[in-house]
Homo-oligomer: A and B are copies of this chain.
C-alpha cells in the first residue's frame, strides 16, 4: 500500500464546487471516478486540503489517496490526466509517508482574488476575474490589509450561515493588494480560512477602496463578531486557491 500526494489545477467554472455531491459535476467526483477506473472499478477515496465553492478555481489544490497498485509516479500523472476532463490537470504525483494528510498537514494556504477595472466587460475573462469597473483608493486598501494581518477572530468576516464548531480565530500571515495590468490582485496567506472568508474580506476591502468603510474601523469590527458589519461576499469567479504549503 502506498500513499500518493497529488497536486492539481482546475477551472472551477463548470463544476458545482470541489466536494462530491450526488448527481452533480464536482472536482472530487471526477477525480474519484478516474481513480476507480484505474483500480478496475474499486472505489478510491481521496482527501483534499479543503473544499472550494462552485465557480472557484485552483491553481494548486492538493489531495492524497492510498493505492495497492504498483505504478511509477510519472505514469500516475499520465494515467490520471488521460482519464480526467480537460478542466482538471494533475501537475504532480509524489509518493509520501503513510501518515501524510493533505488537510491536517497543510500549515498554510494562499488564496488570490482578481478584479478587473476596465470599463467594458471582456467575454474571455467572465469566468476568471470579477469585473469591478470602479476607481479604488489603493492606499486605503493597503492600510486595511495591515489591520487584517495577524491573529484575529474572523467571525465578522465569515459566512453567518456556516455551522460553528470550534474557534473562529485564524492567523493571516499575509494580506496584500497589488496592481495588475487591468485591475487588482488580493493575496491572502494564512493558517486556515473560514467559509466565504476570502470573498468577504475582498468585499470589505472594495468598500474601503470606494470610501464606504475606513481601515481603522477593522479592529472594532473584529471585536463585534457580527457578519452584518462587513462588506458583501464578492462572486466566486475571481477566486483561486493558489497554493497549499506543507513542511519539507
Contacts and interface: CB of A to CB of B under 8 A. Distances in A.
A87 B9 contact: no
A175 to B, nearest CB: 24
A95 interface: no
B57 A87 contact: no
A126 B91 contact: no
Contact of A89 (B10, B86, B121): B121
Contacts of A87: 123, 126
A128 interface: yes
**Residue among A11, A91, A123, A124 facing the most chain B CB atoms (10 A cut-off):** A123
Interface string A72-100: 00000000000000111101000000000
A120 interface: yes
**Residue among A11, A89, A120, A124 facing the most chain B CB atoms (10 A cut-off):** A124
A87 B120 CA distance: 13
A89 B122 CA distance: 8
Interface in A1-44: 9-11
A120 B121 CA distance: 29
B123 A9 contact: yes
Interface string A112-141: 000000001111101010000000000000
A124 B10 CA distance: 8
Contacts of A123: 9-11, 86-89
A122 B91 CA distance: 10
Contacts of A57: 124
A88 B124 CA distance: 10
A93 to B, nearest CB: 14
Given A9-B124, A86-B123, A89-B123, 6 more contacts: A9-B123, A10-B123, A57-B124, A86-B126, A89-B120, A91-B120
* The 6 residue pairs across chains A and B that have the minimum distance between CB atoms: A11-B123, A89-B123, A9-B123, A86-B126, A87-B123, A11-B124
16 contacts: A9-B122, A9-B123, A10-B123, A11-B123, A11-B124, A57-B124, A86-B123, A86-B126, A87-B123, A87-B126, A88-B123, A89-B121, A89-B122, A89-B123, A91-B120, A124-B128
